[in-house]
Structure 1
C-alpha cells in the first residue's frame, strides 16, 4: 500500500506559518476564517497534508519551511527526541512542533556547547556524514597533564579501543597543562573521550565550540538558543 502523505494539525500549521498562537489559531478556525484546499473547515485538528493550500480570509499562507537553530547545551540534557530518564534538548525549545526537529550531531549528556537543531534532513546529513568530514572544535579539560607526544599522535591518527582503523587526522592546540582545543573531522562514539583515553588521560570537561564554520554565539547563555543566520545555514 502507498504511504499516506505526512500531515499536521491545522491549528499547529497556522501557529507555524503565522504569528498567531495556538489558541488564537483555534479561534480563527472555529470562526470559519480558514480554508484548506478551498474548503472551509472549523476543526482545529483537521489534518493538513504536504502540498495542501491553506488560506486565511482568502489570503494564501506559505507552507512551513525548514528550521535551523543553534543551542548552547547545558549538562544533564540528552540529544534525543524522547528519553524516559532525562530531559532532552527539545525540552529547552519554545517552538511549535519541536518533535519535528533533531540534532545535527549529538553531544553526550555531560558535554556542553553547540548543538544544531533542524528539520532539514539533507542539511543535517551534510554535517554528520563521514564522507563530508565536517570539522568540529571542542574545548577539553583533562585529568592529567597532556603528554608531549599527544599533538603528534592525534595529527597522525590513533587507534581507539575496539576500532580497527585509526582516527582521521585531528588538530590539537594545547592551551595549558590540562586544557586544549581539539578539532576532529568525524564523529565516532564518544570519540574525544576515547582519543584521550588512548593517550592514558581522561576528559573531565568537554565543550563544543564550533561545527564547520558555525561558531557558538558568545551571547547565548546555557540553555538558550537562536535561529541560524542565512550565512550560517549556507555555510554547511
Structure 2
C-alpha cells in the first residue's frame, strides 16, 4: 500500500492533507523518515506519525473493559461515552457488537466490520453472553429451573429464550443468555422479585474479557479471537 493511502485510511484524511503530513518529515516507516507518498508500505511495517504508531488500515476488532458510568454511545448529555477512553484517531468509526448499560461493567466488543458484528448481535446466531450478577436478595430454590424454562418479562408477549444460571452463592451467579433485549438481565431477575445491584459481562461467544485489562483499558483482538466468531457451534452446543 502507498504511504499516502495508509495515512489517509489511518487518520481519516484527504490525500492532500496526508501528503502535507508526509512532506513535513513527521512520518516514519520502521524508524526511517519517509517523505514520499508513493513509498510502498510492506504488510508488517510500523508506521508512526509524530512518534505515535498508526493503526493499520482495514477492519479493526477491539475489546474494552468498560467501567461503570460510561455509555455505549457516541453522544450523551449526562455521561461520558466510551469513545473518550480510546487513544485512536478513527475510534469514532467503530460500532458496538453488543452494548452495555451505563452502570454495567465488563466486556464490550467494537469493530468497523459489519459482517463480523452481525454474527454476534443477530439473534439467529444464538451468541452466548455471560454475566456475573450480584443480587440484593438471596435467590430462590427455583431460579435455575425458571431461567431454563424462560421468564415472562413485563410488557413482553413471549417468554425469554432458555437461559443457564450457575449459582455461585446465595446472592451471586453467572448467567448465560442468547438474546439482547433492553435491560434483559435486570428485568429477568425483577420478574422474580429480585434486584440486580451489580452486573459485569465476562464473555461474548468464545471471546473472554482479558483479565489483564483494568477498567477503562482496551486492546486489539488476536487473529484467533477474531476468527473464533465464525466457527460454527457443534449441534450439542446449539
Structure 2 unaligned segments of length 5 or more: list them: 28-35, 44-55, 230-238
Match of 2:108 among 106, 115, 126: 115
**2:111 & 2:94 partners in 1: Cα distance?**
5
Structure 2 distance, partners of 1:64, 1:26, is 19
Partner of 2:199: 206
Q: CA deviation at 1:133?
A: 1.1
- Correspondent of 2:124 among 118, 128, 131: 131
Match of 1:162 in 2: 155
Kept after mapping to 1: 8 A contact 2:136/2:195 = yes
Query: Partner of 1:127: helix, strand, or coil?
Result: helix
CA distance in 1, matches of 2:223, 2:11: 19
The answer to whether structure 1 residue 83 and structure 2 residue 83 are counterparts is no
Aligned partners of 1:173 and 1:72: how far apart in 2?
Answer: 23
Structure 1 residues 1-236: aligned runs within 5 Å: 13=8, 15-16=10-11, 26-29=20-23, 56-59=37-40, 64-236=57-229
Residue by residue over 1:63-111, the C-alpha shift from the partner in whole angstroms, topping out at 9 and shown as x without a partner, is 8210001000000000012222211111101112111011110000000
| Length, aligned pairs only | 202
TM-score (norm 2): 0.78
CA shift in 2, pair 1:124/1:153, >3 Å: same
Partner of 2:124, secondary structure, is: coil
Q: How far, CA to CA, are the matches of 2:74 and 2:93 in structure 1?
A: 9
**How far 1:26 moved relative to its partner?**
4.4
> Are the aligned partners of 1:135 and 1:212 in contact in 2 as well (CA < 8 Å)?
yes
- Structure 1: segments with no counterpart, 5+ residues: 1-8, 18-22, 34-54
Q: Report the aligned-residue RMSD.
A: 2.6
* d(CA) in 1 for partners of 2:7, 2:39: 19
What TM-score does the superposition give when structure 1 sets the normalisation length?
0.78
